């Protein structure tokens, strides 16, 4: 980026939030907007929401801008799933990450009167009854992957899957499915 491009970016910046207003990426983009204004880093910051397809519509728009120094995009781990599950032609390898702003921690919550007191209690019941509902965030997000990753322990099987997990395969995708899914064997 040349000196003139840097001046343009400090004068006006567009932040793509590849989600609808009020979503996680939108909130992160607006916090970024506020921080850059408050710290006088950029004079004018505009957040543009581009919702749809797990964020890949926004990713596709950013990819087409080809090194526009006045546009950045907020994204995260859910984009990985959005790209893979949605079959998007836009790939994360088409763009360059320049900063990590947060970490995504996954939390499992159950009702206070639930019979489950530990993750192992829940997993034991889930293996016996894979129809126990599990909810999460956006399709393809870590909250979608988490149930699968808990069961990817050595010598375990995913609900609906008859292939035992071996130590060597514990970190590989489930052989019953080509995409991360909470109901392995159904895809």
Encode pLDDT of 67-109 as tens digits: 788 999 999 878 887 887 778 899 988 998 888 877 766 677 8
Architecture of domain 3-94: 3-Layer(aba) Sandwich (3.40)
Cα torsion for 143, 148, 150, 156, to the nearest 10°? 170
Crossing angle (nearest 10°) for helices 142-151 and 77-86: 80
Encode pLDDT of 17-56 as tens digits: 999 999 889 999 999 999 999 999 999 999 999 998 889 9
- Alpha-carbon distance of 101 to 99, in angstroms, equals 6
Encode pLDDT of 121-163 as tens digits: 888 888 888 778 776 665 566 655 555 555 554 444 444 444 4
Task: Considering the chain, tell me which residue range(s) the CATH 3.40.50 domain(s) occupy.
Answer: 3-94
pTM (whole model) above 0.85: no
């Amino acid at each position: 980026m040349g000196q003139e491009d840097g001046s343009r970016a400090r004068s006006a910046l567009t932040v793509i939030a590849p989600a609808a207003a009020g979503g996680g990426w939108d909130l992160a983009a607006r916090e970024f907007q506020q921080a850059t204004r408050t710290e006088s880093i950029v004079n004018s910051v505009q957040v543009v929401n581009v919702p749809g397809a797990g964020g890949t519509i926004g990713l596709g728009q950013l990819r087409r801008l080809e090194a526009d120094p006045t546009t950045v995009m907020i994204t995260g781990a859910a984009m990985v799933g959005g790209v893979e599950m949605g079959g998007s032609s836009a790939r994360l390898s088409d763009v360059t990450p320049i900063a990590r702003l947060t970490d995504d921690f996954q939390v499992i919550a159950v009702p206070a009167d639930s019979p489950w007191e530990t993750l192992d209690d829940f997993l034991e019941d889930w293996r016996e009854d894979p129809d126990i509902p599990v909810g999460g965030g956006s399709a393809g997000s870590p909250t979608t992957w988490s149930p699968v990753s808990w069961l990817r322990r050595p010598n375990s099987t995913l609900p609906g899957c008859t292939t035992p997990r071996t130590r060597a395969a514990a970190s590989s995708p489930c052989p019953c499915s080509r995409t991360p899914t909470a109901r392995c064997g159904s895809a």
